[in-house]
Amino acid sequence: MRSFEEFIETRWAYAALALIVLVLSLPGLLRMPVLDRDEGRFAEASSEMLETGDFVVIRYHDDLRNKKPVGIHWMQAATMGVLSSAQARDIAVIRLPSLLGAMLAAMATLWAGTSLFTRRAAFIGAAVLASCLLLTTEAHIGKTDAAQCGLLTLGIGALARMRQGDGKAMGVLFWFCLAWGVLLKGPIAPMVAGFIIVGLLLWERHDGKWNAEWAKPLLYWPGISLFVIMTVPWFIAVQVSTQGAFMKTAIEVDLAPKLVSAAEGHKGLPGMHLAGLPILFWPGTLLLVPGLMLAMSNLLGMRKGDSSRKVGSSLPWGTREAGAWRFLACWVVPSWIVFELAPTKLFHYVLPLYPAFALMAGAAMDRWLDTDQWDKGRWISLALFVFVAGLFGAIASPQVLAMIRADAANDFGPELAERVRFTWDQAWAATGVGIWVTLLIGAAALATAYAVWKKLPMLMLGGMMASALVVGVGYRAVVLPNQSWVLSSEAALSALKELCALPEGTAAWAKSGCAGQVVDGQALKAPKKIRSIAFAEPSFVFALGNRIDLPPVSNPEIPPVEQDNRPAWLINAGEKEGREALDKLVQEAAASDRCIRFARRYATNYSNGDPSILVAAVLEPAGCPSSGEEPPDLRPGDDDDPAAKELEN
């Protein structure tokens, strides 16, 4: 315990927190495929930004994407430009801003917490945040939430430091972080920070006087000027470039519908975020209930009046700790109410509030260590912790996964269900994963429960980190990436690869192993592009970039051989539109005496839950061998295409 106390007083404590996030998130960053639909859209828009050199207007597959501000696209384009390229379509590089944002969130929680509670409470809270499921999941998804959480937590930390007397520099830092928050996700950062500031000013007003001295650095003109310089020019530029369409679309199409109804089907009753908290905060769930109970007891006991003591209160109003609990309450309560009442709900919306919960949890454990009284909320938290661990262990088991696959296979109808289920089961069995993930989750959870029962704090913290590690690595590196039956875009790419029909000039073609193959004495040429019908998942669009067409009608036209001697299609025959297009393509191929080859994959599209029958089709330059016709000359190659050369080398 003494070595732990000494370590957390050093700067290496910050490095340890960043390392926790890195270890838990890196498997997902490297192994998880591009996720639909938000990550695919963000990744493709950022790639197009780098390809076109237009860093003002946001586009997705040649259409304007006037929904979210530009901040995350700048960050993702920067990491691509420095470490890779837009043509490489390297999702791990695009996810780096999210990983760095999650690391920053953990470190900023320690920094903010040290101005509210003891160093030990702040570090434990930061470690809880660094290991929690929601943060480490957002850390490997290439969108806005983890980056926003990191910068907003740093800005809120500046507010906490102002409360302790730090001056103008904290005001500048706050406005800098708030500017990035606006550029990342619009009004969310100002809302959360504004509730803290206004809530504290109102709560701490006494005898008609405002206790606003601590907030004066917010009025320091360089900070406000920096905020304006960072945000206003881009908003003006994008308004001019889109002829006013950006703000109109962002408000009328994206923001306003979320406030009045469940936009894009993301609905949920009030209380949904609270119900998800024990799962998404796990393994910090073990300290969540004690933290909440400690917060409520201190907040309800405080009364205004003499700063030195309170009758019937265990925590005097004017103490540093009392101010800390008021700060956390203003951080959590008003924003949480807004998120719960909003008709549109996604679990990650409340991520900016998780650092406050983590600091409550850290303060509760710090109180346990000081008093050796582990009574408040220990057994409730332990029950929740074990329940969630059991849930994760059960879902990862071969038996439950088989049941889930069988249920999804039934959606393909009685004629296909058995074949689809058998195919999926064989693919899972080939991974050789078995039951070891479930066993490791159980072992880590039991060790942690034993530590709680015996009141062994270091073993308990170690058990929590081990539990997070087993679940994080087990799911992100092993279980989820091998669920090929729900990875529809991966299935589509696999079918195209089987036919050597991935489009030229793409990273997918360069990695397919088809480049350089010889057919009839000539090098095999890749299709110019893929025409995708009834299947437009953003992850698929991202993989192929500008080499994919999404025709608005299901009437496939075969281009002349001179234009594209091996035209290719990806058709979702699970949709009526796709079946009609496939029938017409076969008819057109027969009429043109062209040989058509197919590859088929079955997948459940997890974005909408629909069964997908993904058919890759490629037309060879002539009729099939049985026709007896000589194949025509292949079209001239594009071997001097710079993008293709770069990728194939």
Cα-to-chain-centroid distance, residue 594? 44
Domain boundaries, the chain: 2-386, 387-484, 486-648
Q: Give me the pLDDT at residue 636, please.
A: 40
| Percentage of residues in the chain having pLDDT higher than 90 | 77
Average pLDDT estimate for 449-461? 95
Q: How confident is the model at residue 76 (pLDDT cuts 50, 70, 90)?
A: very high
Q: What is the pLDDT of residues 137-160, one digit of tens each?
A: 999 999 999 999 999 999 999 999
Cβ neighbours of residue 89 closer than 8 Å, sequence gap 6 or more: 43, 47, 506, 507, 508, 542, 543, 545
Predicted pLDDT at 253: 78
Cβ atoms 320, 330 nearer than 8 A: no
- Exposure string of 268-279, with b = 16+ CB inside 10 Å and e = fewer, is beeebbeebbbb
| pLDDT recorded at residue 303 | 64
- Summarised one tens digit per residue, pLDDT across range 498-527 is 999 999 999 999 999 898 787 666 778 899
pLDDT tens-digit map of 291-321: 999 999 999 888 655 444 444 446 888 889 9
Q: Note the pLDDT of residue 263.
A: 58
Q: How far apart are CA 345 and CA 368, in angstroms?
A: 35
∠ at Cα 29 (23, 34), nearest 5°? Answer: 160
How far is residue 425's CA from residue 19's CA, in Å, rounded to a whole number? 36
pLDDT digit string, tens, across residues 260-301: 665 555 677 899 999 999 999 999 999 999 999 999 999 988
Report how far residue 224's alpha carbon sits from residue 420's, in angstroms, rounded to the nearest whole number: 60
For residue 635, the model assigns a pLDDT of: 39
Determine the pLDDT at residue 373: 87
**Average pLDDT of the segment spanning 358-364:** 97
pLDDT digits (tens, 9 = 90+) for 102-114: 999 999 999 999 9
Q: How far is CA 557 from CA 272, 338, 614, 619, in A?
A: 48, 51, 19, 12
Per-residue model confidence as pLDDT tens digits over 205-233? 876 788 889 999 999 999 999 999 999 99
* pLDDT greater than 60 at residue 634: no
pLDDT digits (tens, 9 = 90+) for 370-413: 998 887 889 999 999 999 999 999 999 999 999 999 999 999 99
Give the pLDDT confidence of 189-203 residue by residue, as tens digits.
999 999 999 999 999
pLDDT digits (tens, 9 = 90+) for 35-58: 999 999 999 999 999 999 999 999
Q: Given this model, what pLDDT does residue 254 score?
A: 77
Could you write out the three-class secondary structure of 262-275? CHHHCECCCCHHHH
Confidence band for 354, pLDDT divided at 50, 70 and 90: very high
Mean pLDDT of 556-569: 89
Higher local confidence (pLDDT), 258 or 119: 119
Choice between 63 and 95, residue whose per-residue pLDDT is larger: 95
Q: What local confidence, expressed as pLDDT, does residue 624 receive?
A: 67
Reported in sequence order, the residue ranges of 395-540 that DSSP labels E, i.e. its strands, are 518-519, 522-523, 530-533
> Contact 294/374 with Cβ under 8 angstroms?
no
Per-residue pLDDT reduced to its tens digit, 10-39: 999 999 999 999 999 999 999 999 999 999
Q: Report pLDDT digits (tens) over 81-101.
A: 999 999 999 999 999 999 999
Tokens 């080499």: give the residue. 547
What is the per-residue pLDDT for 327?
97
pLDDT of residue 521: 65
pLDDT digits (tens, 9 = 90+) for 603-622: 999 988 899 999 999 998 87
The residues near 144 (Cβ < 8 Å, ≥ 6 apart) are: 42, 68, 71, 72, 184, 185
Does the pLDDT of residue 644 top 60, yes or no?
A: no
The mean pLDDT value of the chain amounts to 90
Instruction: Quote the pLDDT of residue 641.
Output: 42
Alpha-carbon distance of 362 to 351, in angstroms, equals: 17
Q: What is the pLDDT of residue 593?
A: 86
Dihedral, CA of residue 58, residue 62, residue 63 and residue 67, to nearest 10? -20
Which residues, 6+ apart, have CB-to-CB distance to 282 below 8 Å?
Answer: 132, 133, 385, 388, 389, 392, 467, 468, 471
